[in-house]
Amino acid sequence: MRDIDHFIGGASVRGTSGRFAPVYNPNTGLEQARVQLATVEEMQAAIANSVEAQRSWREVNPQRRARVMFEFKRLIERDMNALAELLSSEHGKVVADSKGDIQRGLEVVEFACGIPHLLKGDYTMGAGPGIDVYSMRQPLGVVAGITPFNFPAMIPMWMFAVGIACGNSFILKPSERDPSVPVRLAELMMEAGLPAGVLNVVHGDKVSVDAILDAPEIKAVSFVGSSDIAHYVYSRGTAAGKRVQAMGGAKNHGVVMPDADMDQTIADLMGAAFGSAGERCMALPVVVPVGAETANKLREALVPAIEALQVGVSNDTAAHYGPVVSAAHKAKIESYIEMGVSEGAELVVDGRGLVLQGHEKGFFVGPSLFDHVKPHHQSYQEEIFGPVLQMVRAETLGEALKLPSEHQYGNGVAIFTRNGAAARAFAANVEVGMVGINVPIPVPVAYHTFGGWKRSAFGDSNVHGPEGVRFYTKIKTVTQRWPTGEAVVDSSFVIPTMK
């Protein structure tokens, strides 16, 4: 049995806790490795290592820090195929989707390559008589990221690329379900020239999470996961005086107007609802057709499209998606399908009971479609995080607008229409953080910023882009006056002004 170790101080470090978590191959359902789970003392040792490494890293000029990112980008592109295959073997998503996972993270690395420009401050000459004022952005020190299983490459790179480029050292606590790729990313950062200890990877469970949240040396924490845990991380982290950005769950809606391009909409829904087996916080698990005619037309087109989806093993190039991450998650998804039936929704396509020949123990769930789902249904109110598409019918655009606006989650939403005025009004008024107009998965590009509203995000800072730079730095403002050589004594006991 292969053991997955911590990566601390530039080297693989065997854990001492004696505690492990199993790492499965979702395609076979078999345990393929086990990952170390750190003790509080092991996490504290890694933090101490990060503190020491950051002292010299912060003194490296931004251009040289950017060169590490440039080289890291080259190495990722060199090893793309191997990384994608490793990712798929632990997560279950098809290899093509794993490459997309890596690429979207790499785009934030490319953004971080421009860090010298992003760290520039402001300067005002002559703000007062002989007085100049300037500002500078400085790193926080040690920062940390706690990342989920569904994007084991992208989300760590969203966090550590910006944090490290800003001059911080970074503690990464990845998901214990698919931990190998995060370790490999740290190894490639070392190969790219990052000094030892600037990026440490420590595996663990709640013990490790709490150690991160309680450690005074860690100044900021980024988190992505379920909303309940996001709220916990935010509350405990901020109580300890840290900056915290905590991204939670989602229930993204796709509103389909009567004038939508139906063929394109169906194609978009297939990828957005069922890609990666629905294990995306930006998936589109709810479709809202406006008007009975639109709903009936949409349903008629959805059924054959769903039935044509191919579910297969991760390395099957013909498969649209692969297994879900674990047996427990498969059971949870199927329980939500049963819940929807018991609540009175119409199960049009039932994806339960899917078995692949030769992979009978794999964690496969077929695509499901519900119609006549009601807003009060628990299965609608909660995040299923699987290949289940729910149709909630609306009579008007106003009624459709209320559904995502009044939902507990506010991560992403999309509208499909040819009507510019309707799209503009929808985007302006919907109470959701990220909006797509004829774009089913509105994940912003790397030089913008990612973040939801309501229970989809806790804290006042989004991920990556300029907001990421602000999150991982603190601003210092200097007001200076240089003597002219003439002795002038001008004591004042009132607050200085520029009068």
Q: What is the mean pLDDT of residues 282-310?
A: 98
Task: Give the orientation angle of helix 180-191 with respect to helix 154-165, to 10 degrees.
Answer: 30
Percent of the chain surpassing pLDDT 70: 97
What value does the mean pLDDT of the chain take? 96
* Structural domain includes residue 488: no
Buried b (16+ CB within 10 A) or exposed e, 205-220: eeebbbbbbbbeebbb
pLDDT of residue 1: 81
281 belongs to the catalytic site: yes
pLDDT of residue 486: 66
Q: How many domains does the chain have?
A: 2
* Structural domain includes residue 202: yes
Give pLDDT tens digits for 43-64: 999 999 999 999 999 999 999 9
Annotate 216-253 with DSSP letters as a single string. Answer: TTEEEEEEES-HHHHHHHHHHHHHTT-EEEEE-----E
Asked whether the predicted pLDDT for residue 116 surpasses 80, the reply is yes
Q: What is the mean pLDDT of residues 246-262?
A: 97
Q: What is the CATH number of the domain that holds 154?
A: 3.40.605.10
Residues 244 and 258 grouped into a single domain: no
Residues 97 and 149 grouped into a single domain: yes
- 3 C-beta neighbours (distance < 10 Å), count: 13
pLDDT of residue 483: 83
Range with lowest mean pLDDT among 11-25, 308-322, 362-376, 485-499: 485-499
Residues 28 and 89 grouped into a single domain: yes
pLDDT of residue 97: 97
Residues 162 and 58 grouped into a single domain: yes
Range with lowest mean pLDDT among 21-25, 176-180, 354-358: 354-358
pTM: 0.94
Give pLDDT tens digits for 438-475: 999 999 999 899 999 999 999 989 999 999 999 999 99
Residues 232 and 262 grouped into a single domain: no
The helix/strand/coil state of 404 is: helix
Pairing of the two strands 368-371 and 346-349:
antiparallel
Asked whether the predicted pLDDT for residue 129 surpasses 80, the reply is yes
Residues 200 and 277 grouped into a single domain: no
* Structural domain includes residue 133: yes
Percent of the chain surpassing pLDDT 90: 95
pLDDT of residue 495: 72
Task: Tell me the C-alpha distance between 367 and 180, whole Å.
Answer: 28
Task: Tell me the C-alpha distance between 184 and 72, whole Å.
Answer: 12
Residues 240 and 257 grouped into a single domain: no
Task: Tell me the C-alpha distance between 205 and 251, whole Å.
Answer: 26
Query: Which of the residues 157, 281, 388, 400 is marked catalytic?
Result: 281
* Structural domain includes residue 483: no
* Structural domain includes residue 461: yes
Residues 240 and 287 grouped into a single domain: no
Cα angle 109-110-115, degrees, rounded to a multiple of 5 = 85
Residues of the domain holding 338: 253-437
Residues 82 and 46 grouped into a single domain: yes
Give pLDDT tens digits for 13-48: 999 999 999 999 999 999 999 999 999 999 999 999
Element (H, E) at 395: none
**Judging by beta carbons within 10 Å of its beta carbon (0-12, 13-18, 19+), is residue 487 exposed, middle or buried?**
exposed
